[in-house]
Structure 1
Amino acid sequence: MEAQTFVKLLLSVLFFILVQGSSKKCDLLSLQIQQTNLGKDPTNKFDMVFEVEVKNLCSCNLKSVFVHSQGFATSVMVDPKVFRQQGTSYLVNDGQPISSQSSVKFRYSWDHFFRMSPASILPEC
């Protein structure tokens, strides 16, 4: 009877470890992209200023973060170390890690906002 109890306890511990390990997995849902309309661009009466926040919701650091944004354009320069086109996507934070629960922000200016969605990430777990 003691052997059965030991095996049940061991299986319970292993199951707990597996569940905890799987909760650390990061996927594209771990990357939150929010845009805020800050109003008219004071240097260009036709454009609006938008602030973009790319936030890491994963418990691990995320590096090589890429974002989709079809047709993205801006009338003001965005620091290329923060956000730049690379192929058909846009690289965030120069590919450097974004810490867990941290974010990277940048602003652009155009007459409308551009939809942005996560393209790919590389978790550091």
Structure 2
Amino acid sequence: MAMVTKYFIAVLIISLISKGYCQCPFQHISIQQFETGIEVQEKPVWNVEIKNNNICTISGLKLDCAGFQTVKRVDPSILSVSGAVCLVNGGTPISGYSKLNFTYAWAPSFPFKPLNCLISCS
């Protein structure tokens, strides 16, 4: 019985320390792309919309960017590319039900996929 009590207390302390942060459920993140009708260096410009479809805040959102290319500069405060990983919004929180947009130019469109993030509900 003492072992069960110690285990329960340990789990409780870890839960309190983590303050509600946990791995991000990717079903709450949607990434949609729309062609703008503009071209840069003969490549179509795509508008990417990243939405947090949950009431909880997400942060540290990283996308799989292996092979991502663009001939149009992407604002690094919104999407910073480092090798095969892209950091969204500088890693800072994205509030519940909010969205971010950026544009890039390439053909065909790139299939951005979430890799990692944290979710915080208070």
User: Structure 2-normalised TM-score?
Assistant: 0.75
Query: What secondary structure, in the 3-state scheme, does the structure 2 residue paired with 1:94 have?
Result: helix
Q: How far 1:87 sits from its partner (Å)?
A: 4.8
1:51 has 2:47 as partner: yes
Contact (CA 8 Å) 1:70, 1:114: kept in 2 or not?
A: no
Q: How far 1:88 sits from its partner (Å)?
A: 2.7
Structure 2 residue ranges without an equivalent (≥5): 1-22
Number of the residue aligned with 1:101: 97
- Larger radius of gyration between Structure 1 and Structure 2: 1
> C-alpha separation between the residues in 1 aligned to 2:38 and 2:83?
30
CA RMSD across the alignment: 1.6
Number of the residue aligned with 1:13: none
Q: 4+ residue runs of structure 1 moved beyond 3 angstroms?
A: none
> C-alpha separation between the residues in 1 aligned to 2:45 and 2:36?
5
Structure 1 residue ranges without an equivalent (≥5): 1-24
Q: How far 1:117 sits from its partner (Å)?
A: 1.0
Q: What does the per-residue CA deviation read over 1:65-122, in whole Å, with 9 as the maximum and x for residues that have no partner?
A: 1111321011011111100123531100010111100011000011221111111111
Percent of matched pairs sharing the same residue: 33
